[in-house]
Structure 1
Amino acid sequence: MPVTLLVADDHAFTLDGMQRALSRIDGVQVVATAHNGIEAIVLARAHRPDIAVLDIAMPGANGLEVVVELRRWSPGTRCVIVTGTPAPGVLRQLQELGVCGLFVKSADPQEICAGIARIVAGETVIAPEIAMRIAEETAADGLSERELEVLQMIARGLTNSGIAEALSISPKTVESHRASLMRKLRVHSVAQLLIRAVRDGLVSV
């Protein structure tokens, strides 16, 4: 008996391509396609697919919301996310919800299909790029309140002396916080630190 799949993406070209590619996996049958999150939930309730392959950014309900709803309406459905660039924290939320696959849209289609074939066989597959991003988000959560203050002031262009004066600490302590920030966020320059901080919403600019 084939493993049944639902595929959801709001871009028709992407949806068609994914349907065709996934249909070629041995033992797989694509039973429904959805163009938005609400349609994905409705079709999942109707078909109870074994696996739902979902985009994150969809109108009506995003991928995260669809996963939550499928836990309620089709608990036997295993969820796979194929995404572009999700907002900070979303990937880890999806992992905590127990999705069985996380892939990036920019990956080679053959790699995505090979990963989904492994999921069909019962595995959980997290693409290396996404595993790294989740690790980075986890590291960012480990920042202290003082480190976040220092990071915000670095983003405003203050020097070590200026930060030290503003926070009533020594420049040496500021340098220690700066080094700790770079270590925790796995960057090697102030430029990389600021790019990472803005990307992950750690500073307001």
Structure 2
Amino acid sequence: MASVDRIIRILIVDDHPMMREGLRSTLERERDMKVVGEASDGSDAVARFRDLRPSVTLIDLQMAPVDGLQAIVDIHGEFPDAPLIVLTTYPGDARVARALQSGAMSYLLKTSSSEEIVRTVRGAADGKKVLATEILQDVTAHQGLESLTHRELLVLQMVAQGFTNRAIGDVLRVSEDTIKTRMKSILAKLGANDRAHAVTIAIRRGFLDPQ
């Protein structure tokens, strides 16, 4: 049984009210946990964090107008020791790496069991990092692979929007041949067969956000 000498104060950040309600219900069944606040987007999350100074924050990534990743950057910038747990629908090694590099401590999927979420919250309060099993497997599988450069990401984002190589070159003010060269590099790094396949892989791995 968990000790009640310490109450873990939790902030829930998610743009779906039912998700927040479900998490609150799950967490407050634990004698050592109390949900002290909720936020529905990244900007609100930063303001609520400043006011509440929670022990642990559970935060989704896909929110508007300010997403969870920006909230993590902003909160971590002001409070470097803040235990921030990503709880999201989307896996992907590149997405995970961005979140961890931005200041997240742990990364869970919304398919995680209640027990895993509770265990991760307790761990975060004690400074322990946790990656969901599926996330850890994905990160391990892609470990050591060359990442996409900033310019390659720009090209791939425009490919996903339907731009041709010539149109991308016009926007970026480089030659069509330069874009073709970058596309070859992108295909090789992602192990993709063609442009459409590259976009699919990039979304799955988290280089691009789902549309």
- Normalization by structure 1: what TM-score? 0.67
Q: Deviations over 1:51-96 (max 9, x none)?
A: 1110111112211111111013333421000011156622111222
In the alignment, what sits opposite 1:121?
A: 126
* In structure 2, distance between residues paired with 1:73 and 1:194: 35
Does residue 14 in structure 1 map to residue 9 in structure 2?
no
CA RMSD of aligned residues (A): 3.3
In the alignment, what sits opposite 2:194?
A: 155
Q: State the Cα distance separating 1:151 from its structure 2 match.
A: 4.3
Does residue 131 in structure 1 map to residue 140 in structure 2?
no
Structure 1 residues not aligned, in runs of 5+: 157-190
* In structure 2, distance between residues paired with 1:155 and 1:123: 41
Structure 2 residues not aligned, in runs of 5+: 1-5, 149-183
In the alignment, what sits opposite 1:3?
A: 8
Which 4+ runs in 1 deviate beyond 4 A?
Answer: 142-147, 149-152, 193-198
**Larger displacement relative to structure 2 (62-71 or 83-92):** 83-92
Distance 1:147 1:12, change over 3 A: closer
* In structure 2, distance between residues paired with 1:130 and 1:2: 29
Structure with max Cα Rg: 1
Distance 1:70 1:110, change over 3 A: same
What pairs up with 1:35-184 in 2 under 5 angstroms? 35-86=40-91, 89-141=94-146, 145=185, 148=188, 151-152=191-192, 154-155=193-194
Distance 1:31 1:145, change over 3 A: same
Identity of aligned residues (%): 22
* In structure 2, distance between residues paired with 1:67 and 1:141: 25
